[in-house]
Amino acid sequence: MKKGIGLKEYIESTSLKKCGPIIEEDVSRMIQILCRLIHPMKVLEIGTSIGYSTFSMANIIKEYGGKITTIEYDRCVAEHAMKNFERVGL
């Protein structure tokens, strides 16, 4: 899995340029810190968008065997998220 991809690079690499809210890089870092501190084994994310927050958490929780489930209502957006996950090795 690719590490160190920033929000700008992640968005520029996706084929869906206009999508719902995406977390900022500061929020992404805070979520990663929380994952490192708490070590959740199961994470449920509601609202995938293009998958940047999923990617951010997965980079951490995979280190200790955690799993993430993410749900996206919009089928088109979910398909783009899946392509992004494949692109970054999730």
Tell me, what CATH number does 54's domain have?
A: 3.40.50.150
Residue 57 within a domain: yes
How many domains does the chain fold into?
A: 1
* pLDDT of res. 16: 59
Residue 29 within a domain: yes
| Domain of residue 65, residue span | 7-14+22-88
Q: Region 42-59: what's the mean pLDDT?
A: 92
How would DSSP label each residue in 20-83?
S----HHHHHHHHHHHHHH--SEEEEE--TTSHHHHHHHHHHGGGT-EEEEE-S-HHHHHHHHH
Residue 50 within a domain: yes
Residue 2 within a domain: no
Taking 90 as the threshold, does the pLDDT of residue 10 lie above it? no
Residue 1 within a domain: no
Q: How many other C-beta atoms can be found within 10 angstroms of the C-beta atom of residue 79?
A: 13
Q: What angle do CA 25, 69, 41 make, to 5 degrees?
A: 85
- Taking the whole predicted model, whether its pTM rises above 0.85 is answered as no
Eight-class DSSP state of 13: H
Give me the sign of the Cα torsion angle 57, 47, 18, 28: negative
